[in-house]
Structure 1
Amino acid sequence: MTLLSPHATEAVVDASELSALKSAAARVNDSVIPPRILIGEEVITLPSDVVDAVQDLLTRFANGDSVVIGSARTLLTTSQVADLLGVSRSFVVHLIDDGRLDYEFRGTHRRVSLTETIRYLEESKRERRAKLDAIAEVTAETGGYDGDPF
């Protein structure tokens, strides 16, 4: 099976499969011998970058995460970017207009690379984490957690 277009799937994995995937990911990580795959009669040793990608994929599926596989050069529509980020298309347009997401034109339509989308997602997670840490620090300094039943 050859998939050249981006492919997204919701991981629907039962408990026994989760255990097997977690075990496989751990074995790939702990192995001193490079993993190999068998295609027909041919055994192929995987390059280290491919091993890293396979381990990441196994771990994400084992954690029940949704996975998107695509080329870093893949260009997405604003609607596709919105779906990946979990926001509205109009919010993505605002991000583009504000210069927070790089884009390129294809005809009259704006397209955002998958790499740029992931960069923005990771950057926004880091910013959110830093802001939450700052709030927690200020709250702790002002005694906001003293006697808090929660």
Structure 2
Amino acid sequence: MTTAGLARPTVMITEQLRDEAARVVEFVGDERIQGVTITTATGKRIDVPAGLAESLDAIVHRMAQGGPITLQTMPELLTTSLAADLLGVSRPTLVKLINDGKLNAIMRGSHRRVRWTELSAFMNAREAERAAAISDLIMADFGDE
């Protein structure tokens, strides 16, 4: 498949698409979408792998909530400025995380670069820590009520 074959036009999220997404979310409830089957206009069918289905699950849930959705490619090596923006911290804070050994970076000449996979893992771990802390607070406040 050529790169040109992968290009697709911008998709506008209409009220109809939001309503359709809301129906899917209502149907699945709290369950995560584990599988999706794609059917082309000519009838070809393929089962989507679980990882891609997970991405579609996130997109469908966000569509149902309303608001903009942006999908973009991410370079494998990020500048410290871009990594800080994605993490939601200042560049000096990101550099401190690197210097403290909490986030790995590599040197490219005299510049630090953060691998997208490293930043993504760091963000996921940070989110898991936050969720655990919230759960602990809820249990401390409400116990087994």
When normalised by structure 1's length, the TM-score is 0.61
Q: Which has the higher contact order (CA 8 A, sep 6+)?
A: 1
Q: Unpaired runs of 5+ in structure 1? A: 4-11, 142-150
* Partner SS, residue 35 of structure 1: strand
Residues 1:110 and 1:17: Cα distance change in structure 2 (over 3 Å): same
Residues 1:74 and 1:37: Cα distance change in structure 2 (over 3 Å): farther
* Aligned-residue identity in percent: 26
Q: Is the 8 A contact 1:57 1:67 kept in 2?
A: no
Quote how far apart the aligned CAs of 1:85 are. Answer: 1.4
Quote how far apart the aligned CAs of 1:69 are. Answer: 3.8
Deviations 1:8-63 (A, max 9, x none): xxxx8454432233446769x598x821234xxx5553442275144443334444
* Partner SS, residue 102 of structure 1: coil
Q: Is the 8 A contact 1:81 1:117 kept in 2?
A: yes
Give the AA of the match of 2:98: I
- Give aligned pairs, total: 128
Q: Is the 8 A contact 2:38 2:48 kept in 1?
A: no
> What is the aligned partner in structure 1 of residue 37 from structure 2?
34
Q: Distance in 2 between matches of 1:30 and 1:107?
A: 43
Q: Is the 8 A contact 1:35 1:51 kept in 2?
A: no
Query: Does 2:100 align with 1:70?
Result: no
Residues 1:62 and 1:112: Cα distance change in structure 2 (over 3 Å): farther
Q: Distance in 2 between matches of 1:116 and 1:30?
A: 25
Select which of 111, 115, 118 maps to 1:116: 118
Quote how far apart the aligned CAs of 1:94 are. Answer: 1.0
Aligned-residue RMSD, C-alpha: 3.6
Query: Does 2:22 align with 1:19?
Result: no
